[in-house]
Chain A
Amino acid sequence: MSSEFLTIYWRDMLRFVRFKAALVASLIQPALWMALYGAAMSNNFSRLEAGMVVPPGAMTVSYLTFMGGGVIALTTLFTSLFGGITLLFDKNWGLMRELLASPMPRNHIILGIGLSGVTKSFIQVMVIMGFGLVIGVQFFPGYSLLQKMGAVLGILLFVGIFSLGFLFLSSTISMSMETPEGLQAVITLLTLPLFFASNALYPIDAFPWPVRFLSQFNPLTHLVDGVRYFMIGSDFYAIGIHYVYSSNDLIVSLLALMGFAALMFLVAWQVFKRAVIT
């Protein structure tokens, strides 16, 4: 079996660890989210929640815990969307000709970039979870060690598939754009609706119905659902809303993310097959 995608992976990871500033920033940024936004908002939400009646028997979780899953999802989204940017630089100022003229199948470029992006996301997710524990996020309430390990694997599975989808999308955009400025603009434009029409930082139940409807097709929402399922549980109460996830919900979310990733791969593959650099 040909394994040239591992070469692309190797090269991208070399660059990742070589640029110390970018490496450190990518690890600190999600922690800052938790520390600043999380601390500020959880105080606000605690005040609001004070007067609410919690149904008997429901497990209540703090806002910080609730948003912990959201920060994992958002960080994965940002990292993945920018994960393909190397390709644009390669295309304009570097290695792309060398890669395209080689006998290596072109989908290996996409796979290699995908794999390294997923690795980066995994590292970030682990950092967020570690940092979250330090500042008081209640991950895995009442789980046994084995359950905790299973939950971490479940989170990584969701993060991995989601991340692949957006890395493939990012690769497509990078190959299609001429300049980094254009890429930046397109990706920022893409992030906003994904971000706000999702349940990452607040519940979607109070959205106007069209946004609520659309958010069901938002991969970010499916990722957040999956992460919260593994992180908190299938039945909990947060910021005034009772969350219940059935295992069917979980499977639907997983399938949605897989479908999204598969579709994005096919699109990227077409773009790379036709790529012409002169």
Chain B
Amino acid sequence: MPDKIIEVKNLEYRYGSFKAVDDVSFFVRKGEIFSLLGPNGAGKSTVINILTTLLPIQRGHATISGYDLATEPQEVRRSIGIVFQDETLDRDLTVWETLELHGRIYSMPGRERRERIEEIISLVELEDKRDVRTRYLSGGMKRRLEIGRGLMTRPEVLFLDEPTIGLDTQTRRRLWDYIRMVNASGTTIFLTTHYMDEADQVSDWIDIMDHGKIIASGDPAKLKDALGNDMIYLNTSDDTVTERLLQGLSVVRGIKATGEGLVVTISADGTHCLPIIMNQIEENGIEIISVNLKKPTLDDVFVHHTGRAIRDAGAEKLRRIQPKGRR
């Protein structure tokens, strides 16, 4: 199919005996913003490293713009742009030199290269920083420079690996504006992030990954709709009994117990259902400790599919590695 610009089939990647990517298949349509979501350690970076040719294909099959990653990595490299998760700048080169270097290692002819550098510098609004070394740029400016650099060769696909990590809210918002603008001009965007709200706002399509597998896939609205209209977060003196009590109610579509309490999905408008549910609990002598009603977010989609919140999933990993790193 010509409109699939990236196609991945049965991808598997192991570090030793650990399966970081486990039988993953998905595709990205030309011109869309595609997001791969998941907590830290879910395998997103491994997938992006394979697709950007930094890791070899161990098992499975993947193509980008019709080029096979296993046999035509050179062609793949020429048709993609990459913004890496970690800063990938020479801090002692200026903004102009950074772009010049990029154009040269991608074999852009001199004249075209010089013209593109000017275009990119004004696109990412770094005109007054062109001869400043990157070490003196702010975090947001560095990111913009890296995004600009990724676009220099007019790639068909731009990979963005956690592009807004560590940036303040205002800078993030501006970055997303850039990314939308780039996408509007025809570049397909492949995004990984663990900021669910950001992905929700920009993405045309989302795949959610956890423990090396894709656990949900769809456009953001459909993913959330699948959970029903509203969700009620409950904490009671006896969650087990409450769960049983609520199962009998017609407005309740589903209940999920998480570490923090119960998540109730309902079939009708939450403002009407909430009193019914609360009555039912209190009439049975159970004390309600806290209650919260909200529209489903992608976070809830993640909870729904994995039984835990994405921030906990990320924190799990942090806690594991902290004792080692602490001095």
Contact = CB atoms under 8 A, between A and B. Distances in A.
Interface stretch (A101-109, A202-210, A261-269): A101-109
Given A4-B107, A101-B53, A278-B55, A94 B45 contact: no
A15 interface: yes
A11 interface: yes
A193 B101 CA distance: 39
A97 interface: yes
B89 A278 contact: no
Contacts of A6: 104
Contacts of B104: 4, 6-7, 10
A119 B93 CA distance: 20
A152 interface: no
Contacts, number: 72
A47 interface: no
Interface of B: 45-46, 49, 52-56, 74, 77-78, 82, 84, 86-93, 97, 101-102, 104-107, 149
Contacts of A19: 92
Contact of B107 (A90, A95, A100, A103): A103
Contact of B52 (A2, A7, A14, A101): A101
A14 B98 CA distance: 12
B142 to A, nearest CB: 12
A11 B54 contact: no
What is the interface of chain B mostly: helix, strand, loop, or mixed? loop
A15 B45 CA distance: 31
A98 interface: yes
Contacts of B46: 278
B90 A103 contact: no
Nearest to A109: B105
Nearest to B45: A278
A4 B105 contact: yes
A11 B93 contact: yes
Contact of B92 (A2, A18, A99, A102): A18
B106 A102 contact: yes
A277 interface: yes
B54 A94 contact: no
Given A101-B53, A278-B54, A90 B77 contact: no
Contacts of B97: 11, 14
A99 B98 CA distance: 12
A2 B54 contact: no
Contacts of B78: 103
